[in-house]
Amino acid sequence: MDIYQDVVCPVCGCLCDDIEVNVENNRVSKVKNACAMGTTKFLNYNSDRLHSPLMRTNGSQQPSSLEESITRVAEMLVNAKYPVVYGLALSSCEAVKVAVELVEEIGGVIDNQTTVCHGPSVQGFHEVGESTASLGEVRHRADLVVCWGCNPVESHPRHFERYSYTVKGRFRKGKEDRKLIVVDVRNTGTAKIADKFIQLEPNKDYELVNALRTALNHEQIQCETVAGIPVEEIESLAETLRTCEFGALFYGLGASHTAGKGRNIESLGLLVRDLNNWTKFVLMPARGHYNVTGVNQVCAWQTGFPYAVDFSRGYPWYNPGETTFVDILRRKESDASLIIGSDPVAHFPIGVSKYLCSKPLAVIDPSNSMTTMAADIVIPSSFAGIESEGIAYRMDGVTFSMKKVVEPPEKILSDEDVLKLILGKVKALKRLK
């Protein structure tokens, strides 16, 4: 039996790097330190697996060879006028780098899960910047943790015990030295353990953030309630935020997806900027997929933009609302899509999912999904962080080297290697044109 220590968990944006994995006969037999999500992934990643490339022939998917599938995908991309490559938040940074080169070569669009996740956060940060810190800094110094529209107890289960609330830090003994405030429309698992729960009305985040800024700056709020919260409670909350020693505001899609979207995050950024007039305060999106931060970083350093990058003009062009995948599908403009480690058929609104399925669709993925079921070409890949190595970024922008603990199934390549083969074939086809 092999025991691997300090394995990085490839599930959520926490990227816990203290996992111990026991491997017997190339199978994961035991997992220590991981949360329920991490343990489940390490023990069950191999179920519902794709074992062979598939190609749709006469309406049904049939097994095919890797070479033939690679050629078909390359032909699809070269022949398309406006292809989109989407996904990569569950891939290594090395795979993202190859994907960017591929999209530049085919003159298409590269987008990632940010577009249906923290895209509004990116737009908010474009406006007002980002007051941030590493999670280590939060662990050692924060005496106030605010969770706004996020639910780490259920979506980032080890966030509190490793980085923010219950953890012992250099200057904080643990939970007894910290306060947790939750702002949410639902009485979530996180809200239930909070020291204070502010239950706002749906779609009223923008109003509440700006009422807090008003109270913080000692101006009068000229109404009795905002977002269903009495003004006295808002003023009290503003005082709590102002008088902490080090505050960390984590937020989720409960803030970035409600009415106002990017403007909500811009306002949260301004709130945190205001708070830094009195104390130290940081703002951080609770990122979901383990390397969605990494795909933003790689896209940004290679193209100048973090997501929704359009190369159809011959140079990178970025305009969320225009070059974002959902909007491209809604306008029925793309004529082929390559999806990497993502399931947009399940996760996009039904109108655009229908259009996505109506055009040539290829998928690189380790497992079955609704998108692989709907695809014309499917190429299986290995699981990054379990069957292949690579770099990933934690939600605070700190990088980690993911480990390989088991061998992938025979003839299954990493998505990085599959993308390199497609890129090579695309270049060869273009030379022939």
- List residues binding another protein (CB under 8 A): 59, 115-117, 119-120, 123, 185-189, 199, 202-203, 253-254, 256-259, 261-262, 308, 320-322, 324, 326-327, 329-330, 345-354, 357-358, 370, 373-374
For residues 299 and 111, the answer to whether their CB atoms sit within 8 Å is: no
Q: Which helix (H) or strand (E) holds 396?
A: none
Closest to another protein by CB, 13 or 247:
13
Closest to another protein by CB, 240 or 368:
368
Closest to another protein by CB, 8 or 255:
255
Angstrom distance (rounded) from CA 138 to CA 405: 30
DSSP label at 82?
S
Q: Rounded to the nearest 5°, which phi and psi values hold at 184?
A: -160, 160
Closest to another protein by CB, 185 or 426:
185
Q: In whole angstroms, how close is the CB of 256 to another protein at the nearest point?
A: 8
Q: In whole angstroms, how close is the CB of 206 to another protein at the nearest point?
A: 12
Closest to another protein by CB, 180 or 253:
253
Bridge partners, 251 (sequence order): 148, 285
Q: Quote the strand ranges of 107-241, DSSP E.
A: 109-111, 144-148, 179-184, 196-199, 225-226, 229-230
For residues 379 and 68, the answer to whether their CB atoms sit within 8 Å is: no
DSSP label at 302?
H
Q: In whole angstroms, how close is the CB of 332 to another protein at the nearest point?
A: 11
Q: In whole angstroms, how close is the CB of 344 to another protein at the nearest point?
A: 10
Two tokens, residue 261:
């979207």
Closest to another protein by CB, 308 or 377:
308
Strand 317-318 to 309-310 pairing: antiparallel
Two tokens, residue 290:
């383990």
Q: In whole angstroms, how close is the CB of 275 to another protein at the nearest point?
A: 26
How many residues does this entry show for the chain? Answer: 433
Closest to another protein by CB, 44 or 319:
319
CB-CB neighbours of 394 under 10 Å: 23
Angstrom distance (rounded) from CA 367 to CA 263: 37
Q: In whole angstroms, how close is the CB of 63 to another protein at the nearest point?
A: 19
Q: In whole angstroms, how close is the CB of 60 to another protein at the nearest point?
A: 10
Query: Half-sphere exposure (CA, 13 Å, Cβ side) for 329?
Result: 27
Q: If phi over 0 gives left and psi between -120 and 50 gives alpha, with beta otherwise, what is residue 257?
A: alpha
Q: In whole angstroms, how close is the CB of 408 to another protein at the nearest point?
A: 25
Q: In whole angstroms, how close is the CB of 354 to another protein at the nearest point?
A: 5
Bridge partners, 314 (sequence order): none
Q: How far is CA 237 from CA 47, 180, 223, 263, 285, in A?
A: 47, 12, 17, 21, 21
Closest to another protein by CB, 123 or 134:
123
Q: In whole angstroms, how close is the CB of 164 to another protein at the nearest point?
A: 21
Q: In whole angstroms, how close is the CB of 279 to another protein at the nearest point?
A: 31
Closest to another protein by CB, 155 or 164:
155
Closest to another protein by CB, 175 or 347:
347
For residue 44, which amino acid is it?
A: N
Bridge partners, 4 (sequence order): 21
**DSSP H helical ranges for 245-400:** 253-256, 262-275, 292-303, 325-330, 344-347, 350-358, 370-374
Two tokens, residue 163:
């980085």
Closest to another protein by CB, 174 or 202:
202
367 SS3 class: strand
